[in-house]
């Protein structure tokens, strides 16, 4: 029987089969998108939606993360850095007149309901993170910008930079101790925050289209192409797990030097103001 478009969409949704899979056209695909975020209520829905997408994977889950910025999963904790990153993202998505000082920003409890689940899921998976020399830059620029704008106190700016040093120390420890975590340094590739999640049964590609919102596809051709792409980039990068101690020490030392530079700048500004 011939189907109307409405009937086809209803059947597609009911059986979880996308119309592009029926057509088998390699140049077209239908994507889902994450929840739009302009408020903390929508942020809670966004985190719930993200968890539901990832909870579909069963056993032996592997993440490939192209880290243009600090991976989202490192901003799900309870420290000041996590709070600050959500503050920045919500400010960038809000109207300028609604921007408040960091001291006046509080995360609602509903947001914490899924952050722990997402953090645990990522921690228990096999992870391949691709970093380059600019991965930390956006966070450092954000701290410096909001401090200069008077929206972030010197004490909070200093604590945020200390949180970044702690994060780098934790990454170094994971490289040394966690057999399921792999960190790569790519000197040429510009990262884009794409995330590929794969198991034996399925794969999904998450592609950012706004600050933190993603287009999501499980299209077979697209995910297979993405797997090949990620594998090639991993081959072109330096795996710090397999590198000698000198390479690892240099990588993490450079990250800490950049953090210390911003800290030195803020400390000198404080002395100048005094």
pLDDT at 202: 92
pLDDT tens digits along 163-222: 999 999 999 999 999 999 999 999 888 889 999 999 998 999 999 988 788 999 998 889
pLDDT at 255: 96
Residue 141 in this model has a pLDDT that exceeds 60? yes
CA separation for the pair 135, 74 (Å, rounded)? 13
pLDDT tens digits along 257-267: 999 999 999 98
The average pLDDT across 135-145 equals 95
Q: Which two tokens stand for residue 239?
A: 């795996």
DSSP 48-107: HHHHHHHHT--SS-EEEEE-SSS-GGGGSSSSHHHHHHHHHHHHHHS-GGG---GGG---
pLDDT at 274: 41
Task: For the chain, give the mean pLDDT.
Answer: 89
pLDDT at 58: 78
Instruction: Choose the weakest-confidence range: 4-8, 27-31, 64-68, 201-205.
Output: 27-31
pLDDT at 23: 59
How many domains are contained in the chain? Answer: 1
Residue 66 lies in a domain: yes
For residues 182 and 188, the answer to whether their CB atoms sit within 8 Å is no
Residue 24 lies in a domain: no
Residue 266 lies in a domain: yes
For residues 113 and 46, the answer to whether their CB atoms sit within 8 Å is no
Q: Which domain holds residue 176?
A: 32-273
Residue 260 lies in a domain: yes
Residue 22 lies in a domain: no
CA atoms 92, 95, 100, 105: torsion sign = negative
Residue 21 in this model has a pLDDT that exceeds 70? no
**Coil/strand/helix, residue 196:** strand
pLDDT tens digits along 32-47: 888 878 888 888 899 9
Q: Which two tokens stand for residue 21?
A: 């899979």
Residue 58 lies in a domain: yes
Residue 5 lies in a domain: no
**Radius of gyration of the CA atoms of the chain, in A:** 21
CA atoms within 13 A on the CB side of 7: 4
Residue 24 in this model has a pLDDT that exceeds 70? no
Listed in order, strand segments (DSSP E) in the chain are 32-33, 62-66, 126-131, 181-185, 195-198, 203-208, 214-217, 238-239
Which of the two residues, 9 and 153, has the higher pLDDT score?
153
pTM, entire model: 0.87
Residue 272 in this model has a pLDDT that exceeds 60? no
Residue 21 lies in a domain: no
User: Residue 271 — φ and ψ, nearest 5°?
Assistant: -65, -35
Residue 94 in this model has a pLDDT that exceeds 80? no
């Amino acid at each position: 029987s011939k189907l109307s478009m409405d009937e086809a969409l209803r059947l597609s949704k009911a059986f979880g089969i996308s119309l592009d899979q029926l057509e088998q056209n390699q140049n077209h695909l239908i994507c889902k998108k994450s929840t739009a975020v302009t408020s903390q209520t929508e942020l809670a829905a966004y985190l719930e939606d993200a968890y539901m997408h990832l909870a579909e994977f069963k056993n032996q889950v592997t993440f490939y993360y192209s880290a243009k910025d600090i991976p989202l999963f490192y901003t799900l904790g309870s420290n000041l850095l996590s709070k600050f990153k959500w503050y920045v993202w919500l400010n960038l998505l809000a109207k300028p007149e609604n921007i408040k000082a960091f001291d006046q920003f509080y995360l609602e409890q509903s947001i914490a309901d899924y952050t722990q689940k997402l953090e645990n899921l990522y921690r228990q998976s096999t992870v391949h993170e691709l970093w380059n020399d600019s991965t930390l830059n956006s966070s450092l620029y954000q701290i410096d910008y909001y401090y200069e704008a008077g929206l972030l106190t010197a004490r909070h700016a200093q604590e945020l930079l200390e949180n970044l040093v702690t994060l780098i120390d934790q990454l170094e420890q994971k490289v040394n101790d966690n057999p399921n975590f792999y960190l790569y340094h790519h000197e040429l590739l510009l990262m884009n925050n794409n995330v590929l999640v794969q198991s034996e049964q399925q794969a999904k590609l998450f592609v950012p289209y706004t600050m933190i919102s993603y287009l999501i596809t499980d299209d077979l051709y697209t995910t297979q192409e993405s797997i090949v792409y990620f594998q090639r980039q991993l081959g072109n990068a330096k795996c710090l797990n397999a590198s000698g101690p000198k390479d690892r020490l240099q990588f993490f030392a450079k990250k800490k030097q950049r953090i210390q530079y911003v800290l030195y700048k803020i400390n000198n500004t404080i002395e100048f103001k005094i």
